[in-house]
Amino acid sequence: MKATTNMKKAALMMLLLTTGATFTALAQTFTPPIGAPADLDVGAKPAAGNTVPEGATVLFYNPATGGPTFIISPSLKDDNDIEFETFRWSRVRTDGSTYGEIDIPATTNHGRYVIGPGGNEEALAPGYHVFRLLGFVGEGTSECLSAEWQDYVVYVLPPLSVSAGLATGSSTIREYCEAEVPQDADAVILSNELAFKTASVGGETGTYKPVNDDFPSPETADFTYNYQWYSILLNSDGTPGTRTAITGATNANYQVNLAPGQDGYNGHGTYIFEVEVQYAAKDAGTRDYVRYVGRAQGTAGEDLEITITPQPGRPTITIENHVD
């Protein structure tokens, strides 16, 4: 069976091929820290002699649309040019058993499985989804099932919520001179915490954390992330000004070090801070909805403000009221 498929609205097509007529258990585990599609592989390994890429197609979840949509397409012939007449699509559990079988004739949209409005499924929820494809020729007593199947692993990344504030052990200094950035025991350190975003479903509040008994579910700590901290200089009326990326502030924690000559420092005044978090397993591209942002908060839930005072220049001396 050919190890190629076409898929719309998705990238990184990773196919996992297994052979045989009995169930084959899947790997049943991901590999933390998860920073690439291969780390989300839960597919059964191919039989000896087969060279099939391992990994998972990684997709984002957009709460505004209810999840990703796409089409997975079967090859219409096998390697010996035998044309398939019917395709059986199903879902796969970690023990290799299947459920949700649906037979689609090759004459119906070329046997494609459609995930989207009006398709075989409306959309995919966060978490693992493994699809299995079998092909048939003939019918009745002449029906022949393909000797091999193909598994397709998809992982939908759950939306995140980001909270930020003073890190444990940080000083509580809220004002400093631009020429004397707080250091050592006086250092102001910001940190962030991640959680799967909450959702309202059927009037009940839950989270977008995958709940699927078929597969293990990674926690937020199992993933790796890309971070960027931003400074925002407040306007004279106290409203937020332009958000500016801070040079080098690309870790989970940020030690406040705004000073003249640094990107992120836009002059003396009062600043607030934000951190933007992205999954490392897939590039966000132009998708703003998967750039998760948290604003640093104080202990009372207010925006954490740090005021930077200007370093004055040299004073001058004049002489007055002199008598000689």
Q: 97 and 167: one domain? A: no
Q: Please confirm whether the linkage preceding 218 is cis (ω < 30° from 0).
A: no
Q: Report residue 19's pLDDT band, with 50, 70 and 90 as the boundaries.
A: very low
Please give the Cα distance from 162 to 233 (Å, whole number).
21
Q: Report residue 222's pLDDT band, with 50, 70 and 90 as the boundaries.
A: very high
Give the dihedral of Cα atoms 71, 72, 76, 82; nearest 10 deg. Answer: -160
From 137, 157, 177, the end of a domain falls on 157
Q: 11 and 153: one domain? A: yes
Q: 152 and 202: one domain? A: no
Asked whether residue 2 is domain-assigned, the answer is no
Q: 302 and 204: one domain? A: yes
The residue count for the chain:
324
Please give the Cα distance from 35 to 30 (Å, whole number).
11
In this predicted model, what pLDDT tens digit does every residue of 67-103 receive, in sequence order? 899 999 999 999 899 999 999 999 888 777 889 999 9
- Flag whether pLDDT at 221 surpasses 90: yes
Please give the Cα distance from 149 to 43 (Å, whole number).
13
Minimum mean pLDDT range among 54-58, 121-125, 308-312: 54-58
In this predicted model, what pLDDT tens digit does every residue of 283-295 receive, in sequence order? 999 999 999 999 9
- Provide, rounded to the nearest whole percent, the portion of the chain with pLDDT above 70: 84
This prediction has a pTM of 0.83
Residue 40: what pLDDT?
85
Residue 158: what pLDDT?
93
Asked whether residue 315 is domain-assigned, the answer is no
Q: 144 and 173: one domain? A: no
How many domains in the chain? 2
Q: 148 and 240: one domain? A: no
Please give the Cα distance from 92 to 214 (Å, whole number).
8
Range of the domain at 41: 7-157
Please give the Cα distance from 217 to 203 (Å, whole number).
24
Give the dihedral of Cα atoms 9, 12, 17, 23; nearest 10 deg. Answer: -70
Residue 217: what pLDDT?
80
Q: Per the structure block, which two tokens stand in for 155?
A: 């992982």
Strand, helix or coil at 157? Answer: strand
The arithmetic mean of pLDDT across residues 51-57, rounded, is 52
Please give the Cα distance from 200 to 203 (Å, whole number).
6
* Closest residue by Cα to residue 272 from 183, 188, 184, 187: 188
Question: With contact defined as beta carbons under 8 Å apart, do 233 and 241 qualify?
Answer: yes
Phi and psi torsions of 21, nearest 5°:
-105, 0
